């Protein structure tokens, strides 16, 4: 009877160790999942910020292109106007 009792006690102790190890593993998995969720949220926020920054950069590039085009058109218009005045002078002077 003592042998059976000792055997059952050993089995009980072994099962308690296994349950404790499983609990530790479950807790570790839960911590890992929480860390993953935090990292996913941070990644989502970073993507939103990157998209906003890219949008602002695109707007700046468009504005710079418009300024450059305006500058080129102004320069061309001034040259054309200047050329027209000189032409008119030559045509007016016989």
Give the rounded distance of the alpha carbon of 84 from its chain centre.
54
What would the two tokens of residue 67 be? 């300024």
Q: Is 1 helix (H, G, I), strand (E, B) or coil?
A: coil
Give the rounded distance of the alpha carbon of 42 from its chain centre.
9
Q: Which residue has the higher pLDDT, 64 or 77?
A: 64
If pLDDT is split at 50, 70 and 90, which confidence band does 3 have? confident
Q: Say if pTM beats, i.e. exceeds, 0.75.
A: no
Q: How many CA atoms lie within 13 A of 59 on its CB side?
A: 6
13-68, pLDDT tens digit by residue? 999 999 999 999 999 999 999 999 999 999 999 999 999 999 999 999 999 999 99
């Amino acid at each position: 009877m003592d042998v059976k009792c000792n055997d059952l006690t050993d089995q009980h102790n072994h099962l308690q160790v296994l349950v404790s190890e499983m609990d530790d593993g479950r807790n570790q998995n839960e911590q890992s999942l929480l860390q993953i969720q935090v990292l996913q949220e941070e990644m989502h926020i970073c993507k939103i910020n990157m998209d906003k920054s890219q949008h602002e950069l695109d707007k700046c590039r468009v504005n710079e292109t418009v300024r450059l085009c305006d500058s080129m058109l102004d320069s061309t218009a001034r040259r054309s106007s200047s050329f027209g005045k000189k032409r008119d002078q030559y045509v007016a002077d016989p």
